[in-house]
Amino acid sequence: MSLPAIQHYAPSDNAIQLFDGQGNVYWFSYHTLIAFKTVDGPKVVRENSWGPTTGKHLNAIDGGNKKSRLNPVEFERAFAHAFGR
């Protein structure tokens, strides 16, 4: 198992990617979870409800594929399903 690690995924100090050490990845804009990927699952990205900075972060994560982004309720449901919460 790897140790948890944090790195920036876009040219911004507020774009943070967390690797949890078990193969799961979480993307944050500021302190807000905006995407995640489990070891064996697809990347799940939330739609932009905030502004242009988070929009840039989302584009860095999914290449601008806005059609695949989930609304807030769907995103929370997907997270609960993926992590059993």
How does pLDDT run across 34-64, given as a tens digit for each residue? 999 999 999 999 999 999 999 999 999 999 9
Q: Where are the alpha helices (DSSP H) in the chain?
A: 52-62, 72-83
Q: How far apart are CA 21 and CA 5, in angstroms?
A: 7
pLDDT tops 80 at residue 85: no
Please, how many CA atoms are within 13 Å of residue 3, restricted to the half-sphere of its CB?
3
Per-chain mean pLDDT for the chain: 92
Q: Give residue 1's pLDDT.
A: 59
Q: What is the mean pLDDT of residues 57-76?
A: 96
Tell whether the model's pLDDT for residue 3 goes beyond 80.
no
Query: Above 90 in pLDDT, residue 65?
Result: yes
